[in-house]
Amino acid sequence: MSNGPFILNLDCDHYVHNLAALREGMCFMLDRSGDRICFVQFLQRFEGIDPNDRYANHNLVFFDVSMHAMDGL
């Protein structure tokens, strides 16, 4: 797919507000044990969803880090 060291995959309706989030994700890969990590995923957790807001423009989104892919677990 790519010869780059990192691949960033975003949904078509998402954009990054804070560029430090990209650096934070790369820090997992660049850690001493980073050779055992295959991906880093920031999960979305919505709170206060408005059912009348069709495109979810006013929802609060919090991000968690999924660590389940370490060492194949």
Q: What is the pLDDT along the chain (73 residues), one digit of tens a residue?
A: 556 677 777 776 666 777 777 777 777 667 776 666 666 666 665 566 667 766 656 555 555 555 554 454 4
25 in a structural domain: yes
Cα–Cα distance for residue pair 13/67, rounded to 1 Å = 24
**Cβ neighbours of residue 25 under 8 Å, at least 6 residues apart?**
40, 42
> In terms of pTM, does the model score above 0.75?
no
Residue 32 lies in a domain: yes
Structural domain contains residue 7 = no
In a domain, 11, yes or no: no
Beta bridge mates, 64: 43
Is residue 14 domain-resident? no
